């Protein structure tokens, strides 16, 4: 069976899970504590990061972006990286946006401080860093809201990896109760559509020891 | 004429220039001072980053990774993202490596401190950050050396975007005199092969006001 080495709250892992689910590719999940990486995991991915996909054939595909491209290459249906050149550019621009800007400006400051810092033994969250994260999140919610208001899906007329990348980050933050949905109704409407996809179900059932998501986390009608 | 909005020392811009050059796609360069972005540039790329490619058709392609995928999609010859599935995974893994780890651990600490910090009005380089950058660079040179010793090109048997991504970062650092080539002979041999490609020539002629590269920077036989 195909295996995805992952962490439940890692947005990059969540993106890979959503891509696999939407393409109906069954997959076993293996939690990988990247803060105490095994020799074996280092061999799978010298970068020491999740997710890493291992196919039945033994093919190893490390990294969310690489997994997205690989899945589209080998299992093209349904297409999730755009249906023509212009759409592919826009989907990949948004993958860059969430993997780069959103990750650095929001996710590292909130999820990184509250969860990963503890795992890596780096102490408690720093208030000023959290405040920066919340401030940046407001700006990013505005941008996502603008996209959601002007397009059917974030990258254009079709559901794509861009929606999954955004929803992967927001769902991980939502698990921490960090998303002020009431302030961003257009984002909430779009997110509830993504959340209703069958591929999203496993994310909503995630359990993380020591953390309790807010009740609305798994509610499709939040 | 096709236009690439860029910065001469930006490794991401250099990667895009090398891809365009190797695919023999002529292109005009426009320097973009991202620390004082124009409204027009923000419209081209809301992320405010270089490179951004603008095609004659008006198609806008922002970001080095997006440009690599776009060029391979539209101008497939010569292939630079791998010739089969396994090669494509490896090329993209290394693009991730240089765009992610190398950028964060080395480039931000050296080029970021010495050049970009000044442009953004954030003051002088911090000694401890530079030391971290040099220390990390040694580790990364070891890894590039390991790849160069065990393969013809970094990602496998064929020259690829992975070679250009690595050479883009190293060439920008070399402009600052930051690469201790004598300590990494396998990297130097591989780099001198990349440096001899015709597409590399424009990088070696780059002029940056207030900065003088070391004499070996443009020497093919360094």
The CATH number of residue A186's host domain is: 1.20.1050.10
B85 and A47 in contact by Cβ < 8 A? no
Judge whether B29 lies within some domain.
Answer: no
The per-residue pLDDT for B27 is: 97
Distance CA A99, CA A93 (A): 10
Which residues are A53's β-sheet partners? A4, A61
Q: What is the ipTM of this complex?
A: 0.97
Q: Closest-CA residue in chain A for B67?
A: A89
Cβ pair B97:A143 closer than 8 A: no
Has residue B136 got a pLDDT over 90?
Answer: yes
Q: Tens of pLDDT along B154-202?
A: 999 999 999 999 999 999 999 999 999 999 999 999 999 999 999 999 9
Q: Kindly state the average pLDDT of the residues A161-174.
A: 98
Q: Which one of B65, B74, B143 has the shortest CB-CB distance to A96?
A: B65
Q: Is it the case that residue B80 has pLDDT exceeding 90? A: yes
- What is the pLDDT averaged over residues A161-165? 98
**Alpha-carbon distance B168 to B18, whole Å?**
8
Contact A98, A169 (CB under 8 A): yes
Chain B interface, best mutation among A70, A84, A93, A154, by max B CB count within 10 A: A93
B221: pLDDT strictly greater than 90: no
Report, as an integer, the average pLDDT of A139-163: 98
Domain count, chain A: 1
B143 contact residues in A (CB cutoff 8 A) = 46
Per-residue b/e over A97-118, b at no fewer than 16 CB within 10 Å?
bbbbbbbebbbbbbbbbbbbbe
Size of interface A-B (CB pairs under 8 A): 64
List of chain A residues whose C-beta atoms are within 8 Å of the C-beta of residue B61: 89
Kindly report the nearest CA distance between residue B141 and chain A, in angstroms: 14
State whether residue A219 is helix, strand or coil.
coil
Chain A residues in contact with B65 (beta carbon < 8 A): 65, 92, 96
Q: Which DSSP symbol is given to B156?
A: B
Could you tell me if residue A147 is inside a domain? Answer: yes
Whether A108 is covered by a domain: the verdict is yes
**How does residue B26 score in pLDDT terms, banded at 50, 70 and 90?**
very high
Segment A87-135, tens digit of pLDDT: 999 999 999 999 999 999 999 999 999 999 999 999 999 999 999 999 9
Q: Are A92 and B45 in contact (CB under 8 A)?
A: no
Position A167 in a domain: yes
The pLDDT assigned to B156 comes to 98
Among left, alpha and beta (phi > 0; psi -120 to 50; other), residue B50 is beta
Residue A2 within any structural domain of the chain:
no
pLDDT at A60: 98
**Contact criterion met (CB < 8 Å) for A86 and B46:** no
From B62, B70, B96, residue closest to A63, measured CB to CB: B96
Domain contains A65: no
Max Cα separation, chain A?
Answer: 47
Does B207 score more than 90 pLDDT? yes
> What pLDDT was estimated at residue A221?
85
Across the interface, of A66, A69, A89, the residue whose CB is closest to B61 is: A89
CA distance B79 to B73: 10
Containing domain of residue A178, as a range? 85-197
Residue A165, domain member (yes or no): yes
- A124 domain-assigned: yes
B residues 156..195 contacting A (CB < 8 A): none
Q: Which of B40, A142, A88, B87 is nearest to B30 (CA)?
A: B40
Residue indicated by tokens 């391979």 = B72
What is the per-residue pLDDT for A222? 84
Instruction: Compare CB distances from B69 to A47, A92, A143 and report the shortest one's residue.
Output: A92
Give the pLDDT of residue B163.
Answer: 98
Cα distances from A16 to residues A19, A80, B138, B186, in angstroms, run 5, 12, 32, 35
Tell me what the pLDDT averaged over chain B comes to. Answer: 97
């Amino acid at each position: 069976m195909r295996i995805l080495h992952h962490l439940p709250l890692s947005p990059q892992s969540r993106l890979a899970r959503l891509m696999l689910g939407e393409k109906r590719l069954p997959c076993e999940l293996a939690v990988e504590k990247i803060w105490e990486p095994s020799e074996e995991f280092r061999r799978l991915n010298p970068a020491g990061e999740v997710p890493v996909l291992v196919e039945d054939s033994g093919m190893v595909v490390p990294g969310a972006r690489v997994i997205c491209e690989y899945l589209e290459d080998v299992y093209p249906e349904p297409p999730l990286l755009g249906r023509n050149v212009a759409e592919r550019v826009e989907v990949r621009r948004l993958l860059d946006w969430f993997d780069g800007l959103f990750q650095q400006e929001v996710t590292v400051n909130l999820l990184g401080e509250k969860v990963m810092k503890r795992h890596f033994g780096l102490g408690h969250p720093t208030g000023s860093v959290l405040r920066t994260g919340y401030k940046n999140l407001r700006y990013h919610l505005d941008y996502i809201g603008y996209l959601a208001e002007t397009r059917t899906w974030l990258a254009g007329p079709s559901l794509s990896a861009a929606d999954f990348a955004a929803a992967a980050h927001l769902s991980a933050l939502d698990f921490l109760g960090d998303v002020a949905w009431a302030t961003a109704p257009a984002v909430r409407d779009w997110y509830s559509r993504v959340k209703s996809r069958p591929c999203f179900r496993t994310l909503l059932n995630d359990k993380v020891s020591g953390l309790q998501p807010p009740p609305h986390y798994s509610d499709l009608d939040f």
